[in-house]
Chains A and B, each alone.
Chain A
Amino acid sequence: ELKVEQNPLFLSMQEGKNYTIYCNYSTTSDRLYWYRQDPGKSLESLFVLLSNGAVKQEGRLMASLDTKARLSTLHITAAVHDLSATYFCAFTEGGTDKLIFGTGTRLQVFP
Chain B
Amino acid sequence: GAGVSQSPSNKVTEKGKDVELRCDPISGHTALYWYRQSLGQGLEFLIYFQGNSAPDKSGLPSDRFSAERTGGSVSTLTIQRTQQEDSAVYLCASSWVRIFTTDTQYFGPGTRLTVL
Contacts and interface: CB of A to CB of B under 8 A. Distances in A.
Interface in A17-63: 31, 33, 35, 41-45, 48, 50
A82 interface: no
A99 interface: yes
B43 A96 contact: no
Chain B interface extent, by class: 20 to 34
Interface in B65-116: 91, 93, 95, 97, 101-110
Contacts of B91: 42-43
B42 A103 contact: yes
A33 B45 CA distance: 15
A3 to B, nearest CB: 10
Contacts, number: 53
A58 to B, nearest CB: 13
A88 B43 contact: yes
B48 A97 contact: yes
Interface of A is mostly: strand
A50 B103 CA distance: 10
Contacts of A48: 103-104
A58 B42 CA distance: 26
A96 B106 contact: no
A97 B102 contact: yes
Contacts of A90: 43
Nearest to A34: B104
Interface of B: 31, 33, 35, 42-45, 48, 50, 56, 58-59, 91, 93, 95, 97, 101-110
Interface of A: 31, 33, 35, 41-45, 48, 50, 88, 90, 92, 96-101, 103-104
